[in-house]
Structure 1
Amino acid sequence: MIGLKRRLISIFSFSTYPFLMKIESVIPILYSDDVTRSLAYYTQVLGFEEQWTWDDPPTFGGALTGDTTIFFCKDDQGHAGTWLCLNVENVDEYYTAIKEKGAIILSPPEDKPWFMREMLVKDPDGHILRVGHNIECD
């Protein structure tokens, strides 16, 4: 098994495929019926900071928390119902904080067999946020 792992690493290394480049970040672009409403939900309820908006009224905008950015686009990109996985330090504390602010909670935090404690949150455009943290495995 270790030999196979080393072989796969060498097959897919940057030196073997020099056209591959390091990806510095991935920023999801979520469909939004109303960018102002989306930014308000993510900032006032979920704890993000508004980063910027484009146009008046906004047709594109960004929200930021730590090193994580999410873009919102009115009508042109994507569709409702995208799922995102957000890893946090403590999902139970986050749950309490956002529940008090009116978050749309689909399921409260619970331990999962894949060694995560997770909850599901829905945003006004129908996107689902799978929020959780790692738990110890036996």
Structure 2
Amino acid sequence: MLVKHLTPILNVSDVRKSFVWFQKLGWTKGFEWGDPTTFGSVYSGPFEVFLCQGGQGGSGASGYSATFGPNSNEAAEKGVWMSVWVEDVDAIHQLCLENEIEVTWPPTNMPWGVREMHVRHPDGHVFRVSCAIDPAAAASGA
């Protein structure tokens, strides 16, 4: 199989509210379908995510405030997890704070050589926002 494109589909409770949430992160609304709207998309550069109201997969938060570390339970999370690679995790963190987006893991240098943070969509989907860092910096926690 040679994959030419991949589009994740998120089960959301309200497509229009999801458009607003993604726009706070700097994504753009792609299309909307239905009357009322029950399907649509958002995109950032060449990357697109479909949003399906009430179907096509699971959703829901675990009930834990964190998505990583000692105060979390990754197995209890019900939504989709996706890794999103960016240039500057700290800038995205600041954007999330300014727009009251739920941050469930603050920017942290991880031992596997990335700076990573997590944000949770209102329907429980978790986005691991990451950028590559110097492995020596990751090991030192800098």
Both proteins in one fold, TM over 0.5: yes
Q: Does 1:61 align with 2:28?
A: no
1:94 matched to 2:92? The reply is yes
The Cα of 1:99 is off from its aligned counterpart by 1.4
Poorly superposed stretches of 4+, deviation over 2 Å: none
Question: Which amino acid in structure 2 is aligned with residue 71 of structure 1?
Answer: F
Q: 1:32 aligned to 2:12?
A: yes
- Select between 95-104 and 46-55 the one with higher mean Cα deviation: 95-104
Aligned length: 117
Contact kept in structure 1, 2:111 and 2:135, CA below 8 Å: no
**What SS does the aligned partner of 2:135 have?**
coil
Per the normalisation by structure 1, the TM-score is 0.81
CA distance in 1, matches of 2:30, 2:85: 20
Deviation at 1:76, TM superposition (A): 2.1
C-alpha distance in 2 between matches for 1:33 and 1:77: 12
Q: What is the aligned counterpart of 1:123 among 116, 121, 124? A: 121
Query: What is the alpha-carbon distance in structure 2 between the residues aligned to residue 26 and residue 108 of structure 1?
Result: 28
Gaps of 5+ in 1: 1-19
Deviation of residue 98 (structure 1)?
Answer: 2.2
How far is 1:97 from its partner? 1.6
> Equivalent residue for 1:48?
27
* Deviation string, structure 1 residues 5-40 (Cα, Å, up to 9, x no partner): xxxxxxxxxxxxxxx3x3121110000111111111
Gaps (5+ residues) in structure 2?
60-78, 137-142
1:67 to partner: Cα distance: 1.2
Alignment partner of 2:124: what SS?
coil
Return the TM-score normalized by structure 2.
Answer: 0.79
SS in 2 for 1:107: strand
SS, match of residue 36 in structure 1: helix
Q: Are 1:79 and 2:77 an aligned pair? A: no
Paired-residue identity, %: 35
Task: Give the distance between the partners of 2:21 and 2:56, measured in 1 at CA.
Answer: 19
Q: Looking at CA atoms only, which structure, 1 or 2, has the larger radius of gyration?
A: 1
